[in-house]
Amino acid sequence: MAAAGVCALWSAAPSVAADANFRWFHYKGSDPVDAVAKPGAGEFRNPVLAGFYPDPSIVRVGPDYYLVNSSFSWFPGVPVWHSRDLVSWRQIGNAIDRPGMVDFKGKELSQGLFAPTISWHDGIFYIANTCFACGGNYIVTATNPAGPWSQPHWFPELGWGIDPSLFFDEDGSAWLLNNDVPPGGETYPGHRAVFLQRLDLPSMKLVGPRRMILNGGVKIEEKPEYVEGPHIFRKDGFYYLTVAEGGTGEKHAQVVLRARELEGPYEPFAGNPILTQRGMDPKRPFPVSSAGHADLVQTQAGDWWAVFLATRPYRDDIYNTGRETFLLPVQWTADGWPTILKPDVPIPHVVKRPSLPRDPAPPLPTSGPFEVRDEFDGSAPGLHWMTMRGPADGWMKLGGGTLTLTPRAEGLGDLASPSFVARRQQHMNMEASTLLSFKPGAGEAAGLGIIQRDEYWFALLLADAGGGKREVRLLLRDGAATPAAGKLLARAPVPDGDIRLRIVAEGERYRFDWAPARGEWRTLLADTDGTVLSTWRAQGFVGAMVGPYAVKVVP
């Protein structure tokens, strides 16, 4: 793990005899499309941020681009990225990285931080965000996007509306948009509206009337669902309002409207949607689906680009990697409307690069086939490592080339913060492995966990078998009816000494292996149904997360 980017994920803990010591963690991944979609010298590969990086929002400040994503109830939250070419992204921080900024205790993994938006005005960066089921809407500020970010400024008067964003007009005035249930309530399931209200920056207070500027969507007579993710920008005398419609599944789409006055009325583009993959043949090769939630940015060269989320199913609408960040150019019609992609055109996996000076490749790859190894030789975890619902509180330490976890009673299925540190599964085909030094006591176990939701996970563990013996076990939780501690799928005795553990994914099929430190790999269980980790089965908004895990079963 790199020492750069210290955050509150890590806190020192005294080592005890029962602690689990992980000597390294290795991740390797690729996708079937890699064999046919190979970018040339002037091209890039989509997605630009592979794996669970949904709801992108982007801002340009001079030649620098900054991007943020949703993180829900994982901590630290709201990853902050930097790029100068829109393709090579380097994570520089996490906006929610200190205890007490938000409270995820007891929240579902798909609750928490929804759809952050990043903006810049007069030397200050702003992130507007919703902590769903944990406080509502807020804004944090920073002069350096790498942080530190301020404590949240909360807006309780916005209730349970979501997806706030800021617009700064040419006169310096600030405005907050978000979506909410329309006045009088829903007239059909998923009926939402977009609201606009002025924000007084010195007091960080909303002032004046809150106006509804879009009701339902571009064609309310068709009952569009969940209009959300609103953004406003100004160009050539028009205010452009872009929003997502259709929910987060296969009906997802992006639409645009415009007005001469900020508060409307807004006229929809006759060519909407400007981005969608709905209605396309699900059997098309290497499909990209569920596209929407776009944010547009103009480069210093005058070109326009869009970042947006989409998914890559391995079959039907089934994927384990969550919603990912894609990049496509924006074209403008002769009468001044932005378009991203015609509705019947598949999202391309390889695209011509923006006309911008090329950034060096990031130290941690975010796209295409790659493998990385964490040697645990830094003083703090890298920014891509996360824990569930809050920072490690005395149960993790890092030093001397070892990540040490203390087994605790809190487990993956307990709506708690277990001894689990994880990174995203970013490919359909993946190997995640580690070397573990551990002498478990009674009821103790440690190894690798991979989770999509509290009720849906696998754990490959080295455990106490009684009588001074050890064994490797595979546990599964595949729904709320399964015990929170999981059910046993397989077990095998193991010799003394360090043990290697490995989780291998090939689309929807997963394999779980173990080996002595210097011996051959042995399969504990193969051809296991990995749809347990899919959004289709587990529901929610996140992707699979994998990493070192330790637990102590209370007698």
Does residue 340 share a domain with residue 295?
Answer: yes
Rounded Cα gap, residues 168 and 232, in angstroms: 9
Q: Which of 163, 225, 228, 471 is catalytic?
A: 228
Q: Tell me the C-alpha to C-alpha distance, in Å, between residue 411 and each of 59, 184, 221, 394.
A: 39, 43, 47, 16
> For residue 355, how many other CB atoms are within 10 A of its CB?
13
Average pLDDT, consecutive stretches of 10 residues, N- to C-terminus, the chain (555 residues): 36 56 98 96 97 98 98 98 98 96 96 97 98 96 98 95 97 97 96 98 97 97 96 98 95 97 98 96 94 98 98 96 98 98 95 97 96 92 95 92 96 96 98 97 96 98 93 97 95 97 98 96 98 97 98 77
Question: Sign of torsion, CA 139 384 447 32?
Answer: positive
Does residue 468 share a domain with residue 384?
Answer: yes
Show the CA angle centred on residue 285, arms to residues 283 and 287, nearest 5°.
80
Rounded Cα gap, residues 191 and 176, in angstroms: 20
Distance of CA 320 to the CA centre of its chain: 12
Q: Determine, yes or no, domain membership for 359.
A: no
Does residue 389 share a domain with residue 262?
Answer: no
Q: Determine, yes or no, domain membership for 4.
A: no
Domain boundary among 352, 386, 403: 352
Q: Determine, yes or no, domain membership for 37.
A: no
Q: Determine, yes or no, domain membership for 27.
A: no
Q: Determine, yes or no, domain membership for 439.
A: yes
Does residue 393 share a domain with residue 333?
Answer: no
Does residue 518 share a domain with residue 376?
Answer: yes
Does residue 219 share a domain with residue 88?
Answer: yes
The pLDDT of residue 554 is 60
Q: Determine, yes or no, domain membership for 166.
A: yes
329: its two tokens: 């150019």
> For residue 409, how many other CB atoms are within 10 A of its CB?
13
Q: Determine, yes or no, domain membership for 494.
A: yes
297: its two tokens: 């940015």
Does residue 283 share a domain with residue 384?
Answer: no
Q: Write the pLDDT tens digit of every residue in 412-424.
A: 999 999 999 999 9
CATH number at residue 389: 2.60.120.200
The pLDDT of residue 12 is 37
Rounded Cα gap, residues 513 and 535, in angstroms: 25
Rounded Cα gap, residues 317 and 537, in angstroms: 10
Q: Determine, yes or no, domain membership for 448.
A: yes
Rounded Cα gap, residues 470 and 353, in angstroms: 53
Q: Write the pLDDT tens digit of every residue in 388-433.
A: 999 998 999 998 899 999 999 999 999 999 999 999 999 999 999 9
Q: Which of 451, 378, 352 has its CA nearest to residue 72? A: 451
Does residue 408 share a domain with residue 301?
Answer: no
Does residue 390 share a domain with residue 343?
Answer: no
252: its two tokens: 């997802």
- Half-sphere exposure at residue 457, Cβ-oriented, CA atoms within 13 angstroms: 28
Rounded Cα gap, residues 540 and 79, in angstroms: 19
Tell me the β-bridge partners of 398. Answer: 403
The pLDDT of residue 84 is 98
The pLDDT of residue 378 is 86
Helix, strand, or coil (residue 156): helix
Does residue 401 share a domain with residue 307?
Answer: no
241: its two tokens: 């309002």
- The model carries a pTM of 0.95
- For the chain, the C-alpha Rg in angstroms (whole number) is 23
Domain count, the chain: 2
Q: Tell me the C-alpha to C-alpha distance, in Å, between residue 503 and each of 189, 280, 482, 509.
A: 40, 33, 22, 11
On whether the CB atoms of residues 104 and 390 are closer than 8 A, the answer is yes
Give residue 218's domain range.
44-352
| 75 DSSP assignment | E
CATH number at residue 288: 2.115.10.20
What is the biggest distance separating any 2 CA atoms in the chain, rounded to whole angstroms? 79
The pLDDT of residue 8 is 40
Look up 303 and say whether it is catalytic. no
The pLDDT of residue 343 is 86
Q: Which of 19, 31, 55, 455 is catalytic?
A: 55
Domain boundary among 352, 379, 401: 352
Domain boundary among 323, 352, 381: 352
Does residue 52 share a domain with residue 177?
Answer: yes
Does residue 440 share a domain with residue 377?
Answer: yes
Look up 410 and say whether it is catalytic. no
The pLDDT of residue 310 is 98
